Structure 1
């Protein structure tokens, strides 16, 4: 147990504890212990920086008592001054390590550990719809008046399941993560991520490629009737948005013949 007033005894205990931790972390079988261990280690690093500074100050303030083994005072004070310099330099290095350890602990805190190894499944996001100009302004108004969830629900009507996935694959609108610019804002609902920027004037809706959204959200109870309900104006607006997106991204246009027998309701993704 620490004494809090006997530096020699507490230093010896700290040394023994660090040796024990070095031995215990050679193999970790319970990963859920890693985060609290990092927390204690972060506290120790912060204390170590303080300790080094205090030891440097002690060598400085007590230097008038220092000599070398032969009793030479100037030589002893010179060594004390050198010790002060090195200890303070070490404290600076520890202070630089502390924010890196803090950031590492923050990342570790976002990990959800499983009892067994999990398969490495790559998530891909496909673009459902991209709007800009006046069409995007209408979505910004919806976000302002009714919230981002309502905007997502409105834009999710453009999601035609396999047809949307096929179009995204053919045109190259597939991403490891939804593309988010420096000033872009995001919102999520169900399988969808909304990316919008009222300053630049664009809105994009993205979905995990293999995710199955809430059928109520996208109205899949009667997809043929839903598709037929789209007006000519809506189709023209969508086509205009697609042309704008292709021009912006430089993607190759793919002209696909209409799939008359394709039933949207058979699923989202493969």
Structure 2
């Protein structure tokens, strides 16, 4: 919850919420786009206000600025330069807000139709044709922040296959599948953002984003349920006896509780 009085804590919470939104919108129904746009417009207005206030803080206190070496002249120069850059960023958001408003107006006129229905409203496959079973993916683990950085370092050093082998130790077979089904972390396709990188190794799909700092491992799960999941086959290091890590199944590390999914 926002404190409304602690800018450091609220800035950190905003960054975490945006990372969560970036993850959640990778696989979203089109009916959710309009309300999400509305929230983004409100967020852009608030961000504009924050940038204005940061600009004013740098200007009002520029006489107090010093460099690491104690130089007051350069300190004031840097403070005013930062204020100028912040002011330009705030002005650039005005154009962003205009574009978001325009997108929202267009989106408000869309009546999304269910998938599998043609323009006449008739089921494409006909009423007597049974739908074919399609593969789905369940979330095994989703990491962000420092924990994701460790895996990203492993990817840089040893390659994505090593990261898959490392993250697969948190796959407990049926237990992982059931938890993903209960918490809604089941996807028709691996959710991959525009800047995400994706690697498939056997039944696992690894997605990662060094820029946003998150890593996700998913496993295929056929619908109807894959008979192979009838017998538990967790990939666990020898001697591992402790309970499953509560950060699993897409939970955010700093807010996870056992049995709880992704906390945005």
Q: TM range, normalised to the smaller chain?
A: 0.3 to 0.5
Decide which structure has greater helix share: 1
Q: Which has the larger radius of gyration?
A: 1
TM-score (normalizing by structure 1) = 0.43
Higher relative contact order (CA 8 A, sep 6+): 2
> Under a length normalisation based on structure 2, what TM-score does the superposition of the two structures give?
0.44
